[in-house]
């Protein structure tokens, strides 16, 4: 995605640090000392993601996100509402990696268009 396209979609009233793109990615998350659990990533940005997770996570320690075909990404849980969590990567994704992920895993809504 070209930077101009991203700027057109960016909501300047949104307090987030970067644009989030809807995706639907089956992945795993793990808290240190615990086993990994299945999650669904619902949106992704260079700086973080929103996920649906049916397992209780404490949020007291960093979590490790494991996307298919990628190394684990260390993240912090920033908020929780029911079974939904907002997380921030400790190290932002490189724009090329972000673009690759969103191209490989578009949301089902976008795929049906």
Q: In this predicted structure, what is the pLDDT of residue 17?
A: 56
Instruction: Taking the CA atoms of 68, 64, 57 and 18 in sequence, report the sign of the dihedral they define.
Output: negative
pLDDT of amino acid 59: 80
H-run or E-run covering 108: helix 108-111
Domain ranges in the chain are 3-106
**CATH tag, 3-106:** 2.40.10.220
- Percentage of the chain exceeding pLDDT 70: 78
Provide the 10 A C-beta neighbour count for residue 57: 19
Whether residue 110 is predicted with pLDDT greater than 70 in this model: the reply is: no
How confident is the model over 68-98, as pLDDT tens digits? Answer: 888 999 999 999 999 999 999 999 999 999 9
61: left (phi over 0), alpha (psi -120 to 50) or beta: beta
Distance of CA 106 to the CA centre of its chain: 13
Would you say residue 7 has pLDDT above 80?
Answer: no
The reply to whether the predicted model has a pTM over 0.85 is no
């Amino acid at each position: 995605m070209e930077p101009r396209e991203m700027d057109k979609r960016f909501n300047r009233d949104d307090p987030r640090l970067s644009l989030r793109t809807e995706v639907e990615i089956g992945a795993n998350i793990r808290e240190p000392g615990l086993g990994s659990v299945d999650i669904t990533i619902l949106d992704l940005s260079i700086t973080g993601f929103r996920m649906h997770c049916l397992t209780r996570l404490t949020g007291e320690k960093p979590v490790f996100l494991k996307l298919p075909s990628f190394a684990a990404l260390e993240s912090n849980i920033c908020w929780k509402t029911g079974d939904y969590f907002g997380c921030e990567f400790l190290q932002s994704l490189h724009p090329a990696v972000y673009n690759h992920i969103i191209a490989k895993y578009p949301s089902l809504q976008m795929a049906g268009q």
